[in-house]
Every structure is written in C-alpha cells, then in structure tokens.
Amino acid sequence: MDRNSATLNDETTELYREIDKLKADLRQVRSDFASIGGDALRTARAGFNETLKVASAQSKAAAETAEKQISTHPFIAVAAAFALGMFIGFRVTRRN
C-alpha cells in the first residue's frame, strides 16, 4: 500500500504542475488577447481620425462653395431658400 501511496502522491504532484502550467498558459493567452485588442483599437481609432479629417475637409470645401454661390447669385439663393421652406412647411402641415 505504501507503493500505491507514493504513486498517487507523484501523480497528484504532476497534476498540480500541469494545473500551474495551464494557469500560466491562460495568463499568457489573456495577455496576448489584450495586446491584440489594444492594437485593433488603435488601428480603428487611427482610421476613424483619418475619416473624420477627410469629412471635415470635404464639408469645409462644400461650405465655401455654397458661400461663393450665394454671394455670386443672392436672388437665386433667396428664392431657393424660400421654395425649400415652403416645401417643408407644406409637408409638415400635411402630416399633422
């Protein structure tokens, strides 16, 4: 029985070693996933910032073009604004 006890003790010790190794591997996997997630977040943020810069530049260009057109043709701009306002007014009152 003493020999079985020693074998059981060795197996238990080996099992504890394997569990400790598994814990260490899981810590490494968690660390790797956190690193990958951080890298993906940084990449996404950089892409978003670039898209925001492009959209901002395009909106500024559109605003400058609209301002130039309004100053070049003020009567057409007022007539277009009036027509658009009337259209929206009719649509809103029609729904209510």
Give the start-to-end residue ranges of the domains of the chain. Answer: 2-95
Given a cut of 90, whether residue 7 has pLDDT beyond it is no
Instruction: State whether residue 96 is helix, strand or coil.
Output: coil
- pTM for the model stands at 0.46
What 3-state DSSP class applies to 86?
helix
Tell me, what DSSP letter sits at residue 66? H
Q: What pLDDT, on a 0 to 100 scale, did the predictor assign at position 85?
A: 92
pLDDT the model gives residue 2? 63
Q: What is the pLDDT of residues 33-79, one digit of tens each?
A: 777 777 777 888 888 888 989 999 999 999 999 889 888 989 998 99
What are the Cα distances from residue 33, in Å, to 6, 20, 36? 40, 20, 5
